[in-house]
Amino acid sequence: MDLSITIQRIKDTLDKAVIEVHSQLGQDTVIIAPSGLLEVARLLKEDPELEYNYLMDLTAVDYWKRRPRFEVVYHFLSLKNNFRVRVKIPVPEPDPKVDSLTSLWSAANWYEREVYDMFGIQFMGHPDLRRILMYPEFEGHPLRKDYPIEKRQPLIGPKV
């Protein structure tokens, strides 16, 4: 299998962190251990052959009955080279945590807050990790598959 320059550079530089790679129809995907996230992100951004300068999206998936339960998914774009890569990080329960990418991409700030709010995944090193979509008193994380949809939330009224 011919590997793209992106996958090849990641494997050459950080092979210990790489769990799996694949490319299909020009879509590169790299699954890496959580401990390698910052190194891979720094490589994507700073390597002169790659120059991934745009964090397009950051989200999470709850596989619920699979282990590890969660996966944080990043989509990067190199505007200069028109390269795209998807980076997936498996995140186990009961205390889901990954490193924050806010030091490399300021756009990660709100994306990480959304994932924290909806899934309860913590981003270590985030400058202001708090809810962004739900109100502060909201209990639980509504995009988790085990979230009880009939759950009553505390009612928040106007402050007097």
Answer whether residue 108 shows pLDDT above 70.
yes
Amino acid 139: pLDDT: 93
Band the pLDDT of 157: cuts 50, 70, 90.
low
Taking the model in full, what pTM does it have? Answer: 0.92
CA distance 42 to 45: 5
Q: Where does 5-107 sit in CATH, by number? A: 3.30.460.80
CA distance 110 to 107: 6
Average pLDDT over residues 15-26: 90
- Mean pLDDT is lowest, of 19-23, 83-87, 147-151, for 147-151
- What does the chain come to in residues? 160
Band the pLDDT of 158: cuts 50, 70, 90.
low
Burial class (CB in 10 A: 0-12, 13-18, 19+), 127: exposed
Q: What is the pLDDT of residues 65-82, one digit of tens each?
A: 999 999 999 999 999 999
CA distance 101 to 115: 13
Answer whether residue 28 shows pLDDT above 70.
yes
Q: What is the pLDDT of residues 123-140, one digit of tens each?
A: 999 999 999 999 999 999
CA distance 112 to 128: 10
Sheet strands side by side (includes 83-91):
18-24, 27-32, 83-91, 70-78, 54-62
